[in-house]
Amino acid sequence: MCIVGAGFSGIAAAIDLRRAGVTDIVIVDRGTSVGGAWRDNTYPGCACDVQSRLYELDVAPWPEWSRKFAGQEEIRSYLESVVEIFGLEPMLRLETEVTHAEWHEADDAWHVETTRGPIVADVLISACGGLTEPLYPDIPGKADFTGPAMHTARWDRAVDLRGKRVAVVGTGASAIQVIPAIAPDAAEVVVLQRTPPWVMPRRDRAVPQWYRSLLATLPPVQRAMRGASSWAREIQLLSFTWQGAFRAMGERIARRHLEAQVPDPDLRRRLTPGYAMGCKRVLLSDDYYPALMRDNVTVAPGLERVTSTGVVDADGVEHAVDVIVWATGFKVLEPPLADRVVGRDGESLAQAFARNDMSAYKGTTVAGFPNLYILQGPNTGLGHSSVVLMSEAQIDYLVPAVASGLVMEVDAMAQRAYVEDLDRRLATTVWQQGGCRSWYQNGHGRNVALWPGSTHAFARMMRSFDRGAYRTRRRKGGTRVPAA
C-alpha cells in the first residue's frame, strides 16, 4: 500500500497500519526529509498555535516539549525522532513526487506514477495535508517587482531582511507570527491588512525541566495531560457552534487584549474586526499588537497592486519596499493530489470535488475512488483544536478496512446523506453566519474545511469502520499487491 506524504498523518498512518499487520507500506514524499507542513514552513516565528501537547501522536508521547507552544523546528525534529524510534526509514521514498495515480479495475489496484518510477498498490492514502500549496493572490503588477518575494510557506533563508524595507501581505495565522519576528531587524515593515483578525492572548511559556521529567517518568500523567488539553480546547468550540454568550465572552477577552496592547485609538479602530469572532480563524499572540506599535511598522489597508519597486495599498498610497512576503495562505480548494488521482470511471478527484462541492464521506472516502483514503480531507479541519487528533481518528477508521485486504468503495448515497447532515450542522455556525468570507468556504459558500463538532465526537464517529456504507468485495487475483 502507498501513503503519499510524510507529515504527521502519513507517519501516524504507517505506524498504526504496521501494528495492524500491514507490512508492505511505502511512504512517498516529494521533500528531502519528513515533516510535511512543519518541514515546509520555516518562516521566522513559525510555531504551533495549539498546545504542543496536542502536536504529538498518541502512539508517540513526547514529554520533552520545551514550550507550551513549540516552535516549528522542535515539531519537525519530533517527527524525525518518531520515524527513527518506530524504524520507518525503510518505508520512506523521499524526493519522489506522485505525478499520476489511477485505479485499474483489471487488478483492483492503484497504479501510481512517480518521478522515481511506478508503484502498484492495493490502497492509496493521501496524507498530503490541506494547507500545502502556497496561494499567491492574483494581484496586478506582481511579476513586475524586481526585489525578492517569498511566501511564508516557501521561506528563502538566503534573503537577509536585516535593514530592509519589507511588505507583508496578509494578517492571518502565518503573518501574525512572522511580523513580530522580523520587525526588530528590518528597517521598515509595511503590513497590508485587508481584514483585521481576532487576536486572543497566547500566554506561551517554557515548560520547566521538573515537569518534563515528571511526564517522562509517569506516562499515565502524560496521557492525562494530553487528554485534558484536548478537552480544554473543546470549550472554544461552543463559541463557534452555539455562539451567543460564549462568543460574546471570547470577543470581550480579545477586545480587552487589543485595548491593553494598543493605546492609539486610531490604530485600535483599524485593528478591530468587523465580523463575529471565529468566522475566520481566531489567532493567538502576545507580540503581534506590540510589533504593530513599533515606529518602523506601518499598518496599511489591503494590497491593490505591486510595482517594480514597491506595493500600492487600497488607499492608493505607494510604499517603496525591498522585499515582499506573501502571508496569503494556501490553495485549500485545490488539494495537492486531486488533479492527479483518477478513479474507477476515469474521473479525477478534482473533477469529483468540482461536481460534489468538495465533499467526502466522513472526510475520508469518495464514491468512485475505491481504496482511496484521504487524511485531513474535506471537513476535517478545526477552528479550535489540533488536526493531529482528527488524523488519528481517521486512521483508527481506515486501519481495519485496509487490513481486511478487501476493496472498499463508499456508496454514493451514503456519502450524500452524510454531507447533507454535515451541511445542516454547519449552517448555524459562526463560520457561515459570522459575516465574513474565509478560506473555509468554496466559491459557493460551502464550508469545505471544517468539522462542526468536537474532536471527541469525530473520534467516536470514526471508532469503527461502517462497512454498511461501502460496496465491498474481494480483490481480483489475491489479497494484496506488494507496493514495488
Q: What is the footprint of ligand NAP within residues 38-77 (CB under 6 A)?
A: 47-49
Is 174 near ligand NAP (CB under 6 A)? yes
Is 378 near ligand NAP (CB under 6 A)? no
CA 339-342-344 angle, 5° bins: 155
Is 272 near ligand NAP (CB under 6 A)? no
2 neighbors 371 (Cβ within 8 angstroms): no
Q: How far apart are the first and last CA of the chain?
A: 9
Is 321 near ligand NAP (CB under 6 A)? no
Closest approach of ligand NAP to the CB of residue 443, in Å? 14
Phi, psi of 394 (to 5 degrees): -65, -40
Is 142 near ligand NAP (CB under 6 A)? no
Cell of 316: 492608493
Chain centroid to Cα 132, Å, comes to: 7
The binder of ligand NAP chosen from 35, 45, 63, 172 (CB under 6 A): 172
Is 331 near ligand NAP (CB under 6 A)? no
339 neighbors 353 (Cβ within 8 angstroms): no
Q: Which helix (H) or strand (E) holds 224?
A: helix 219-241
Closest by CA to 167, choosing from 284, 316, 288, 312, is 312
Specify the stretch interacting with ligand NAP by CB under 6 A; choose among 160-168, 173-181, 256-264, 475-483: 173-181
* Burial class of residue 147 (count of CB atoms within 10 Å of its CB; 0-12, 13-18, 19+): middle
The binder of ligand NAP chosen from 9, 114, 171, 239 (CB under 6 A): 171
Is 194 near ligand NAP (CB under 6 A)? yes
As a whole number of angstroms, the distance between CA 70 and CA 147 comes to: 32
* Burial class of residue 106 (count of CB atoms within 10 Å of its CB; 0-12, 13-18, 19+): exposed
As a whole number of angstroms, the distance between CA 404 and CA 10 comes to: 20
Position 47: which residue type? A
Residue nearest to ligand NAP (CB): 172
Is 175 near ligand NAP (CB under 6 A)? yes
By beta-carbon proximity to ligand NAP, the closer residue of 141 and 302 is 302
Closest approach of ligand NAP to the CB of residue 25, in Å? 27
Closest by CA to 74, choosing from 207, 172, 238, 253, is 207
Is 273 near ligand NAP (CB under 6 A)? no
- Site of grid cell 463575529: 276
By beta-carbon proximity to ligand NAP, the closer residue of 10 and 134 is 134
Specify the stretch interacting with ligand NAP by CB under 6 A; choose among 82-90, 169-177, 181-189, 348-356: 169-177
By beta-carbon proximity to ligand NAP, the closer residue of 113 and 304 is 304
By beta-carbon proximity to ligand NAP, the closer residue of 162 and 444 is 444
Is 302 near ligand NAP (CB under 6 A)? yes
Closest approach of ligand NAP to the CB of residue 281, in Å? 4
Closest approach of ligand NAP to the CB of residue 171, in Å? 4
The binder of ligand NAP chosen from 63, 170, 273, 452 (CB under 6 A): 170
Phi, psi of 379 (to 5 degrees): 60, 35
* Burial class of residue 377 (count of CB atoms within 10 Å of its CB; 0-12, 13-18, 19+): buried
Q: Which helix (H) or strand (E) holds 259?
A: helix 244-261
Cell of 322: 525591498
Closest approach of ligand NAP to the CB of residue 134, in Å? 8
Phi, psi of 268 (to 5 degrees): -60, -40
Is 173 near ligand NAP (CB under 6 A)? yes
Is 327 near ligand NAP (CB under 6 A)? yes
- Total residues in contact with ligand NAP, by rule CB under 6 A: 26
Q: What is the footprint of ligand NAP within residues 215-254 (CB under 6 A)?
A: none
The binder of ligand NAP chosen from 131, 190, 342, 374 (CB under 6 A): 131
Closest approach of ligand NAP to the CB of residue 197, in Å? 7
Residues that bind ligand NAP (CB under 6 A): 47-49, 131, 137, 139, 152, 169-175, 192, 194-195, 280-281, 302-303, 327-330, 439
